[in-house]
């Protein structure tokens, strides 16, 4: 064992500078031989090809290199997955070039064996085949000259700066006249459109108003629908989550949007203008029922809606009608309501007052350019105090955490010579802010208390907001860990933590808890087989409820229960050493796909449950991009055309994200790399990328308050504030936590 460790250390030390490839743990660099490696298992020297050929050697893939005969089975399996991922990445790049980067299909700079699936989404027929051939011919002779590494034409290389400037000004003038948002220039379809125009050359006329609103829009709808066929086919295996989201545009028109989530990708189904409709449970039920039939009852595992009473009643009624799927509230919205209750002025007046003080500080800094520039340039190194977060109340609590993070810098800023000499320091509002930051002895301890109580929930909120990875297998245990972490932070002092735990339990019992997330926990081997997991009997009972609900075939129900013993007792493939080691290392769905083959009926059932999301918020963020569609400029469009426009626009956005994202099928939800501050001190993107999450971060937060010393927070700040009596933040411990649910019941 020690020799193996020393070999790993030597091989890593001899790896090329900056190399982070894990394969180097299984090889040595051959001194004096460039691009040569030596396998630590069979001592074979692989000359040329570097680390790539070593991967094939360890994976046992014959061809360019001899397979290793001494590599352990688990390493061999891992290397096979790595090699497969390399192949998938190459295919993804070719697809991206085919679907986005080139206006005429496959890029001429792709490999000759490029993936032809990119052409399968088009309409079938002889005419289209001929059209495809002509497009390939055009692509051969008029390839875009903006691709990386491409050679510009002689004509373009001879263009003067003045000619290029005039071309840019022509586009800019049209841009400004049409009132197009600036970030539209970041669209992946922007440069390909210019490439297509340039390829045709002089004399090209842009599509007319009639063409844009007519045949071209129809063609776009057909193209998007063909793209969505592959995603819809996956619903048969993985199931899907139907999501409903209410939205109000600038004209105060209520719009109900419907999306469908599956691991293959999220699709936008349609939007319904609810103007003039009563939003009672009966009306919503009729609308929802039509959408359910369109998606297919047999495909739906859960129907996620808002927590509003009418939505909940309609969802429950729909669940009773079909009996084969669950109604679920939006988990992010439920946790947001918990955080909202934490700052309720009736029961937690001092917490509410502290939040108002933090808002005063941030508003003052961001409403005065000079103060903001001073902070960014001299104290926070360009980092900001706040950015929009997942939900409205998470923004409040993360803002407080960010203030605590920059406590030292803020105190230094309001005592520096530049501030003292400025006119802002002499204004009444400036003096008030200085009084809060420097002189209010209770302010910082109160902020630290709020960070203590809210951070575990905010981390769960980030978990359920994960976009790329299904989270159904994690929510149940994450909530349990969050509650235990809150108790530990206050040294199990019941009078301090109990009001907040009551709020969490009330929302969990009445809204958020579902047999579905308990079953997901039961089927997640990384949690169920954990030594510290104590809810096995509870989640087992609720798993049975899911079997009865989701599997209507009685014979299959019996088979699932029979095969369940193999999983619970880790028998057969479930008990293989490789399966045991990878319980928490790979995603639950991948684990079941690899090790559940001896229990095929249970395997299929587990994959359907574990493939679901818990929240609709990460699909809701971009409705503001459709303001131009629902604006007065387009109110003459008939309803069908408006729906087509929304359908194309949103699904193109989702398509762009789906084909650009890099999915690692082996990577589980990993909390170790999460950074709560990233969304507060980093730049935003149009589709905010999710961080890797891990349940451990709920227990060991990045910026965790030190529970050994209630007056200090482990954020590298100097705490010279006064003591904060935690009980004074609570108006009364004898309150009814269910009072916070009245609006949603």
Q: Would 343 be classed as within a structural domain?
A: yes
Whole-number Å distance between alpha carbons of 572 and 567:
9
Report CA Rg, the chain: 29
Please list, in sequence order, all residues whose beta carbon lies within 8 angstroms of the beta carbon of residue 631, skipping any fewer than 6 positions away. Answer: 249, 250, 251
Q: Would 214 be classed as within a structural domain?
A: no
Predicted confidence (pLDDT) per residue in 378-409, tens digit: 998 888 887 655 566 677 888 888 889 899 99
* Band (576; pLDDT cuts 50, 70, 90): very high
The verdict on 643 and 676 lying in the same domain is no
Lowest mean pLDDT among 91-95, 124-128, 360-364: 124-128
How much is the pLDDT for 34?
A: 72
Predicted confidence (pLDDT) per residue in 35-68, tens digit: 788 888 888 888 877 778 888 888 888 777 888 8
Please list, in sequence order, all residues whose beta carbon lies within 8 angstroms of the beta carbon of residue 10, skipping any fewer than 6 positions away. Answer: 28
The verdict on 678 and 730 lying in the same domain is no
How much is the pLDDT for 298?
A: 93
The verdict on 653 and 675 lying in the same domain is no
Whole-number Å distance between alpha carbons of 385 and 365:
9
109 close to 150: Cβ distance less than 8 angstroms: yes
Tell me the three-class secondary structure of 309-332, residue by residue: HHHHHHHHHHHHHHCCCEEEECHH
Q: Which of 89, 117, 140 is the last residue of a domain?
A: 89
The verdict on 265 and 383 lying in the same domain is no
The verdict on 558 and 612 lying in the same domain is yes
Whole-number Å distance between alpha carbons of 539 and 545:
10
95 close to 118: Cβ distance less than 8 angstroms: yes
Whole-number Å distance between alpha carbons of 258 and 242:
7
Exposed/middle/buried for 82, CB within 10 Å: 0-12, 13-18, 19+?
middle
* Band (256; pLDDT cuts 50, 70, 90): confident
Range of the domain at 394: 339-449+712-744
The verdict on 407 and 501 lying in the same domain is no
The verdict on 467 and 601 lying in the same domain is yes
- Helix and strand tally (H, E) in the chain? 31, 8
Q: Would 410 be classed as within a structural domain?
A: yes
Q: Which two tokens stand for residue 555?
A: 């014979």
Report which listed range, 109-113, 198-202, 622-626, is most confident: 198-202
Q: Which of 67, 89, 111 is the last residue of a domain?
A: 89
490 close to 726: Cβ distance less than 8 angstroms: yes
Q: Which two tokens stand for residue 25?
A: 């743990």
269 close to 287: Cβ distance less than 8 angstroms: no
Percentage of residues in the chain with pLDDT exceeding 70? Answer: 71
395 close to 676: Cβ distance less than 8 angstroms: no
Find, among 194, 214, 197, the residue nearest to 205 by Cα.
197
Whole-number Å distance between alpha carbons of 528 and 695:
13
Q: Would 39 be classed as within a structural domain?
A: yes
The verdict on 568 and 669 lying in the same domain is yes
Q: Would 717 be classed as within a structural domain?
A: yes
The verdict on 560 and 629 lying in the same domain is no
Has this prediction a pTM greater than 0.75? no
Alpha carbon of residue 545 to chain centroid: 29
Q: Would 143 be classed as within a structural domain?
A: no
Long-range contacts, stretch 55-62, CB < 8 angstroms, 24+ apart: 55/23, 55/79, 55/82, 55/83, 55/86, 56/83, 58/23, 58/26, 59/83
Q: Which of 89, 124, 151 is the last residue of a domain?
A: 89
The verdict on 318 and 385 lying in the same domain is no
Q: Would 126 be classed as within a structural domain?
A: no
Mean pLDDT value across residues 117-130: 39
Residue 709, Cβ neighbours under 10 Å: how many?
10
Whole-number Å distance between alpha carbons of 266 and 276:
29
Find, among 255, 321, 254, the residue nearest to 293 by Cα.
321
> What angle is formed at CA 306 by the lines to CA 302 and CA 307, rounded to 5 degrees?
100
* Band (680; pLDDT cuts 50, 70, 90): very low
Number of domain units in the chain: 5
Predicted confidence (pLDDT) per residue in 335-382, tens digit: 988 988 988 888 889 988 999 999 899 899 988 999 999 999 999 888
How much is the pLDDT for 153?
A: 58
Whole-number Å distance between alpha carbons of 85 and 662:
10
Query: Is the pLDDT reported for residue 431 higher than 90?
Result: yes
Q: At 271, which CATH number?
A: 3.30.420
The verdict on 415 and 562 lying in the same domain is no
How much is the pLDDT for 717?
A: 34
Mean pLDDT value across residues 200-206: 82
Q: Which two tokens stand for residue 185?
A: 């220039």
Query: Is the pLDDT reported for residue 566 higher than 90?
Result: yes
Q: Which helix (H) or strand (E) holds 303?
A: strand 300-305
Mean pLDDT value across residues 549-577: 94
The verdict on 591 and 604 lying in the same domain is yes
């Amino acid at each position: 064992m020690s020799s193996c460790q020393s070999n790993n250390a030597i091989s890593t030390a001899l790896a090329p500078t900056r190399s982070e490839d894990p394969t180097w743990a299984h090889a040595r660099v051959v001194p004096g031989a460039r691009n040569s490696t030596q396998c630590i298992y069979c001592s074979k020297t692989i000359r040329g090809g570097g680390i790539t050929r070593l991967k094939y050697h360890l994976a046992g893939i014959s061809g360019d290199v001899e397979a290793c005969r001494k590599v352990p089975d688990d390493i061999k399996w891992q290397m096979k997955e790595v090699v497969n991922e390399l192949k998938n990445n190459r295919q993804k790049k070719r697809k991206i070039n085919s679907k986005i980067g080139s206006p005429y299909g496959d890029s001429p700079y792709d490999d000759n064996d490029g993936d032809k699936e990119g052409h399968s989404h088009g309409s079938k027929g002889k005419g289209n085949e001929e059209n495809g051939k002509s497009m390939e011919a055009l692509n051969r002779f008029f390839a875009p000259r903006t691709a990386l590494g491409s050679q510009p034409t002689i004509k373009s290389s001879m263009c003067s700066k003045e000619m290029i400037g005039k071309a840019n000004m022509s586009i800019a003038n049209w841009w400004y006249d049409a009132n197009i948002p600036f970030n539209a220039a970041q669209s992946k379809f922007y440069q390909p459109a210019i490439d297509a125009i340039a390829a045709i050359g002089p004399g090209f006329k842009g599509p007319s108003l009639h063409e844009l609103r007519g045949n071209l829009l129809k063609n776009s709808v057909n193209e998007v629908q063909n793209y969505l066929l592959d995603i819809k086919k996956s619903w048969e295996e993985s199931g899907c989550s139907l999501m409903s989201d209410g939205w109000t545009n600038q004209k105060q028109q209520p719009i109900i949007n419907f999306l469908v989530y599956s691991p293959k990708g999220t699709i936008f189904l349609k939007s319904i203008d609810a103007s003039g409709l009563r939003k009672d449970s009966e009306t919503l039920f009729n609308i929802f029922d039509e959408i359910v039939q369109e998606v297919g009852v047999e495909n739906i595992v859960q129907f996620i809606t808002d927590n509003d009473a009418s939505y909940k009643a309609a969802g429950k009624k729909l669940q009773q009608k079909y009996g084969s799927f669950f109604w679920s509230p939006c988990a992010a919205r439920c946790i947001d309501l918990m955080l909202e209750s934490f700052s309720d002025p009736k029961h937690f007046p001092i917490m509410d007052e502290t939040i108002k003080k933090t808002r005063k500080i941030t508003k003052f800094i961001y409403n005065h350019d000079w103060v903001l520039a001073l902070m960014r340039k001299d104290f926070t190194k360009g980092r900001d105090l706040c950015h929009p977060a997942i939900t409205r109340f998470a923004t409040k609590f993360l803002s407080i955490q960010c203030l605590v993070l920059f406590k030292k810098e803020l105190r230094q800023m309001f005592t520096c010579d530049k501030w003292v000499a400025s006119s802002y320091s002499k204004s009444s509002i400036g003096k008030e802010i200085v009084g809060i930051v420097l002189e209010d002895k209770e302010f910082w301890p109160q902020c630290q208390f709020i960070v203590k109580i809210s951070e575990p929930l905010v981390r769960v909120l980030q978990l359920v907001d994960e976009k790329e990875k299904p989270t159904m297998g994690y929510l149940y245990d994450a909530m349990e860990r969050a509650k235990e972490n809150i108790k530990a932070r206050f040294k199990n002092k019941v009078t301090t933590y109990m009001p907040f735990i009551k709020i969490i339990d009330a929302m969990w019992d009445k809204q958020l808890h579902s047999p579905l997330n308990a079953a997901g926990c039961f089927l997640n081997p990384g949690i169920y087989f954990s030594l510290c997991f104590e809810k096995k009997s509870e989640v087992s009972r609720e798993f049975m409820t899911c079997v009865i609900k989701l599997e209507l075939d009685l014979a299959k129900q019996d088979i699932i229960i029979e095969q369940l013993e193999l999983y619970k007792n880790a028998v057969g493939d479930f008990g293989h050493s490789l399966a045991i080691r990878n319980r928490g290392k790979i995603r639950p769905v991948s684990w079941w796909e690899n090790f559940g083959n001896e229990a095929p009926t249970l395997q299929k059932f587990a994959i359907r449950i574990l493939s679901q999301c818990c929240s609709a918020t990460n699909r809701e963020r971009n409705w503001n991009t459709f303001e131009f569609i629902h604006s007065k400029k387009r109110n003459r469009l008939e309803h069908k055309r408006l729906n087509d426009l929304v359908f194309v626009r949103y699904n193109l956005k989702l398509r762009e994200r789906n084909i650009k994202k890099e999915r690692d099928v082996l990577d589980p939800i990993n909390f170790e790399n999460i950074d709560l501050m990233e969304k507060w001190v980093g730049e935003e993107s149009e589709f905010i990328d999710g961080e890797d999450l891990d349940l451990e971060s709920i227990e060991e937060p990045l910026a965790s308050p030190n529970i050994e010393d209630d007056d200090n927070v482990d954020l590298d700040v100097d705490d010279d504030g006064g003591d904060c009596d935690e009980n004074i933040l609570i108006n009364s411990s004898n309150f009814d936590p269910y009072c916070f649910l009245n609006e949603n019941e």
